[in-house]
Homo-oligomer: A and B are copies of this chain.
Amino acid sequence: MSVTGKKWRMITWMATLLAMVLLSGCTTLRGTGDLGLVVERASGSVQVLENSHNTLLGSVTGLGDLSHATAVFSRDGRYAFVFGRDGGLSKVDLLTMQVVNRVIQAGNSIGGAISQDGRLLAVANYTPGGVRIFDTETLQMKLDLPALAADGKLSKVVGLEDAPGQSFVFSLFDAGEIWLLDVRDINQPKVQKWTQAGLQPYDGLVTPDGRYYLAGLFGEDGMTVLDLWHPEKGLRRILQGYGRGEAKLPVYKMPHLEGWAVAGNLVFLPAVGHHAVLVADLQNWQEVAHIPVHSQPVFAMVRPDNRQVWVNFAFPDNDTLQVIDIPTLKVIKAFRPGKGIMHMEFTAKGEEVWISLRDEDRVEVYRTDTFERVAALPASAPSGIFFASRAHRMGL
């Protein structure tokens, strides 16, 4: 063989090796604990972010209809599972910034959750009404559970959350039921059902310790609690008539319940159709406070160190944020970052918060102690912001 032939062999070998290495995505070697994403609802894309230096790393497109989209994260923090409104379920690799798998699993979907062990995803569907469960590795469907209510009709499913014991818990909007689904053995799922959960449960939350499931009601002033340590005790109605006879206002945007509601004994909940954040005591479920706020609250989120609750509002007051001081239960700060505040996300230890300003096409980052703005980043009609550190918490 000639010398030139050897050289060509070497070139070929090196090129092959190089291609393999490049395809493995090695340029993005980094930790995933400070990653996250911003949903760009209008363009069906997400921007991958990192919150150590507050930068956007790149964009991932092709995710379909992302209005009301949410995301959960694999336990290694590498993959985001994005639930689209169009029933799309996409697996996004935050390191290579690629969609590595995607299924259209239903016609209309409202979010989902990841199991305690990280192996299963559950999606809450409006059409067809029910829950479908998928393998996180392959996105293969493992269970199809129609939400066939006691009235014989399929119901929309809302407020789907993960719970301890490899369970999911969710509400049936039309039927007013709460179901607890145990998937320890996915081939023999166990379902417990409670009727009489109240009129139109519209969203739910699981407390950070995984003990309580709370369903917010749209059709009446009140909420419903299920104690997951004592499911045999059934449902409990709390905060009944919290509007205190005041005329309920037209609801411009449904509030959201999130797993960031609890600080010590207290749980903070946006009232529906009233300008108030409700505070209940987890030990007896009595109302502790009814905090007047600027407008109709959408999110009321507890800072991870339990010192503050940040509140945003429905249109036309979605340019304003208020901050409640938990020790005094008073609003201590109000400011107007800009138009179309859709979501907030605290860093895991709470020193900073990211805010999406849909109508300003940007996200902003604030220090939570001084309220100083530390970053402003361009994004196209941003809505939800989700950090990979959610992988390590229940009910998110």
Contacts of A352 in B (CB 8 A): 117
* Whole-angstrom distance between the Cβ of A390 and the nearest chain B Cβ: 9
Cα distance A369–B167 in the bound complex, in angstroms: 13
Specify which chain B residues have a CB less than 8 angstroms from the CB of A217 in the assembled complex. Answer: none
Among A74-82, A172-180, A241-249, which stretch is in contact with chain B? A74-82
A15 interface residue, CB < 8 Å from B? yes
Partner of A164, one of B21, B307, B389, B393: B307
CA distance A164 to B306 in the complex (A): 10
Q: Which residues of B contact A11 (CB under 8 A)?
A: 7, 10-11, 14
Stretch in A27-35, A57-65, A103-111 with 4+ CB within 8 Å of B? A27-35
Chain B: CB-nearest residue to A302 = B209
**A337 → B minimal CB distance (Å):** 21
Whether, in the assembled complex, A24 has its beta carbon less than 8 Å from a beta carbon of chain B, the answer is yes
State which residues 44-95 of A face B: CB under 8 Å.
Answer: 50-52, 73-79, 94-95
Expressed in whole angstroms, the Cα–Cα distance for A166 and B347 within the complex equals: 14
Question: CB < 8 Å: which of B34, B229, B389 contacts A307?
Answer: B229
Q: A interface vs B, CB < 8 Å? A: 4, 7-8, 10-11, 14-15, 17-18, 21-22, 24-35, 50-52, 73-79, 94-95, 116-118, 164-166, 209-211, 229, 263-265, 282-283, 304-307, 327, 348-352, 369, 388-389, 391-394
B residues near A34, Cβ cutoff 8 Å: 75-77, 118
Given A31-B74, A76-B31, A229-B307, decide whether A393 and B348 contact each other with a Cβ distance below 8 A: yes
Residue from B15, B25, B35, B209 within 8 A of A29 (CB atoms) = B25
Q: What distance in Å separates the Cβ of A117 from its nearest Cβ neighbour in chain B?
A: 5
CA distance A264 to B35 in the complex (A): 29
A260 to chain B, nearest CB (A): 12
Contact B26 A27 (CB under 8 A): yes
Which chain B residues lie closer than 8 Å to A307 at the CB level? Answer: 164, 229
Q: In the assembled complex, which residues on chain B have CB atoms less than 8 Å from the CB atom of A52?
A: 75-76, 118
What are 26 A-B pairs at a CB distance below 8 A? A4-B7, A10-B11, A11-B14, A14-B14, A18-B18, A21-B22, A26-B26, A26-B29, A29-B95, A30-B76, A30-B78, A31-B32, A31-B95, A33-B78, A51-B75, A52-B76, A75-B348, A116-B351, A209-B263, A209-B264, A209-B304, A210-B305, A229-B307, A265-B265, A348-B392, A389-B391
